[in-house]
Amino acid sequence: MVRKNKDWDRRIILLSAIGLVICTAVLFPQVRNLILNYLAEHVIHKDTSINHVWNSLLFKFALIGIFAILFLDYCIFANSGKSLIHKLRKEINDCLSKIDFRSFLKPSLILLVVYLLGIFTIIRANFSYKDDVWRAAEGSRQWFSWSRYVSEFLSIFIHGDTRLTDISPIPQLLAILILAVSSVLLVYVLTGKITVTRLLASIPLGLSPYFLECLSYKFDSPYTALSVLASIFPFLFSARKKVFLLVSIVSLLIMCMTYQPAAGIYMLIVVVLCFQNWNRREKTNKEILSFLGIAVFAFCFTLLVFRFFLMKPVTHDASYAQTSMLPASQLITGILNNIKDYALTINHDFGMIWKIGILLALLFFITKSVSCSAQRKVISFFLVFTVIVISFLLSYGVYSLLQKPLYAPRALLGFGVFLAVICIYAVSDFKKISTIVVLALNWCLFTFAFSYGNALADQARYAEFRIGILTHDLSALYPDVSKDSMSIQIENSIDFAPSIKNIAKHNPVIERLVPSRLSDSKLDYIYFLTYFNDDRFHANNEEAKEQKNIDFSALNLPVVLDSYYHTIQSDGNHIIIVLKH
């Protein structure tokens, strides 16, 4: 036995030495350039030009690797390290021994069926959603560009190749499985007891209109779901401080490297748990402050590590969210403006019935908190309002701190978790009327998911009909496939199908969820040119690339075709297509 342990020690020392040599070599710029050239050519499938940001990021990875190896060796070989690992292992076993994981199986299956029904029409629509278009056409991942390294590596295993192919609906099925487990864990963490009513109350976590956009992505959906699970998982270990801190840091790093808009979910749950423990006197104020301090430290530490060592700054896309934070002089006013826009966006997106349901759920949350309070009722009443406001702010994550935040539906997924928390708490051991209202609200969200999936199918049929007519007209006007590529610009986009306009009368969010086709963007050009096998209009020569920055409408091009659906103007080299609504 002693000899076997010594053999393992030698192997660990050998692997550590190899790892340290590799990481040290990566610190040299020449080695980093070789690695980046190889990745660009064989893995990322991009040109081999070296980006300074990637070079710097690889340098930071090497430093983290050296630190990780030395820390692991300390834990394995040093007596103090062995003692630390022994204590952590004991605390982890203590936490896990108190949880009956078999009791999670049936609730997870129930929610899996619910979520599967909820996205059935989305899967049936088989709609290539935004990024899906170019991922399927080009086979590249590029999650690295958004610092989503876990998504990048997991995609290799899920798709079984370094080059992506469309394997839907496997990623979406995997996503709803992760969401089902996340919902069960959220109910367990908040209430300690899993019931069917509480499970159904958690539906907004996965079927809010905002997370429906995440589930629409054939390639990205499992990683967005994983970010939610990673934000909830640490609370299974909240009874043990050291383990809770360690698991929180690891889980939050996973969240940051899968889908950053989920960043506020962790602290949202922390605030609600602290309020519950205080309101019911389940823990002393000292214990609550200790738990809050550990959670805040884990959250801030992880985000700082991610920001300075792992995050790749995003400043290249002016039309998209950027990572630049508000300057100190504009911090307060900027945050208030961002939160105001966040609230106005939700107010615009949601129909009147949804708003009434949400307000009633909030009312029951307040009523229950005050009526069940073991504290002074007046203090509890004012504090519950504070908790609601803080939780709502946290549901937007770190976007409120950015100069240019994102308000796309998928970026607001935290609001669905906020709503799920409110609903779960409102139906827990309270009056039947609150259960009826909450389940009615969630039924509305559930049925909207069906409407949304059918709307995607309608829009796909309508868009392909319009694109088919357009490609026919272009092929008739320019039948010479050997002709050099021509520059093309598109004005307007294909409008929404009648069914979507009908849904938008009461639920305006549908118009932000269903993508338009042939808008003047990279994704839709790929859809137009690649999916319909017509690459003559790619701007792939130098002259055409320079002309992309020219507004063709200012050239006063002659009209070569005018139909019910579009007008085509061209001088033979420049083409402008004006889509009619």
**296 and 416 both lie in a single domain:** yes
Whether 436 is covered by a domain: the verdict is no
Where does the pLDDT of residue 537 fall: very low under 50, low under 70, confident under 90, or very high at 90 and above?
low
Where does the pLDDT of residue 576 fall: very low under 50, low under 70, confident under 90, or very high at 90 and above?
confident
Q: Quote the mean pLDDT of the chain.
A: 86
Q: What is the CA radius of gyration of the chain?
A: 27
Q: What is the pTM of this model?
A: 0.89
Enclosing domain of residue 62: 2-77
Report the half-sphere exposure of 272 (CA within 13 A, side-chain side).
31
**Domain stops at, among 375, 399, 430:** 430
pLDDT score recorded for residue 204: 96
Tens digits of residue pLDDT in 478-514 = 887 666 566 778 888 888 999 999 999 999 999 999 9
Residue 523 has pLDDT above 70, yes or no: no
pLDDT score recorded for residue 315: 59
**420 and 507 both lie in a single domain:** no
Whether 94 is covered by a domain: the verdict is no
579: β partners: 566
**221 and 347 both lie in a single domain:** yes
Task: Estimate the crossing angle of helix 2-26 against helix 29-42, to 10 degrees.
Answer: 90
Where does the pLDDT of residue 546 fall: very low under 50, low under 70, confident under 90, or very high at 90 and above?
low
**478 and 356 both lie in a single domain:** no
CA pair distance 162, 155, nearest whole angstrom? 8
Tens digits of residue pLDDT in 322-369 = 678 888 888 899 999 999 999 999 999 999 999 999 999 999 999 999
CA pair distance 325, 338, nearest whole angstrom? 12
pLDDT score recorded for residue 42: 60
Tens digits of residue pLDDT in 7-29 = 777 788 888 888 888 888 878 77
Whether 88 is covered by a domain: the verdict is no
Tokens of 351: 């129909």
3-class DSSP string for 94-129: HHHHCCCCHHHHHHHHHHHHHHHHHCHHHHHHCCCC
pLDDT score recorded for residue 528: 64
CA pair distance 53, 73, nearest whole angstrom? 30
Tens digits of residue pLDDT in 285-305 = 999 999 999 999 999 999 999
**317 and 376 both lie in a single domain:** yes
Tens digits of residue pLDDT in 251-261 = 999 999 999 99
Average pLDDT, integer, range 40-54 = 57
Whether 445 is covered by a domain: the verdict is no
Whether 447 is covered by a domain: the verdict is no
Average pLDDT, integer, range 412-433 = 91
**Domain stops at, among 24, 43, 77:** 77
**277 and 187 both lie in a single domain:** yes
**462 and 410 both lie in a single domain:** no
3-class DSSP string for 358-380: HHHHHHHHHHHHHHCCCCCHHHH
Counted domains in the chain: 3
Average pLDDT, integer, range 410-424 = 96
DSSP of 300-354, one letter per residue?
HHHHHHIIIII-----S-TTS---PBPPGGGHHHHHHHHHHHHHHHHHHHS-HHH
pLDDT score recorded for residue 43: 55
pLDDT score recorded for residue 360: 95
**Domain stops at, among 430, 465, 483:** 430
Whether 121 is covered by a domain: the verdict is yes
User: Quick one: what percent of the chain has pLDDT higher than 70?
Assistant: 88
Q: How far apart are the first and last CA of the chain?
A: 79
Tens digits of residue pLDDT in 70-128 = 888 888 777 777 787 778 788 888 888 888 888 899 999 999 999 999 999 999 999 98
Tens digits of residue pLDDT in 441-482 = 999 999 999 999 999 999 999 988 988 888 888 888 888 766
**472 and 363 both lie in a single domain:** no
**374 and 488 both lie in a single domain:** no
**460 and 326 both lie in a single domain:** no
Average pLDDT, integer, range 182-204 = 94
**310 and 415 both lie in a single domain:** yes
Tens digits of residue pLDDT in 132-174 = 888 887 887 888 878 899 999 999 999 988 889 999 999 999 9
CA pair distance 62, 450, nearest whole angstrom? 47
String of b and e for 113-139 (b: at least 16 CB within 10 Å)? ebbbebbebbbebebbbbebbbbbbee
Residue 415 has pLDDT above 60, yes or no: yes
Q: DSSP assignment, residue 576?
A: E
Type of residue at 343: A
**359 and 506 both lie in a single domain:** no
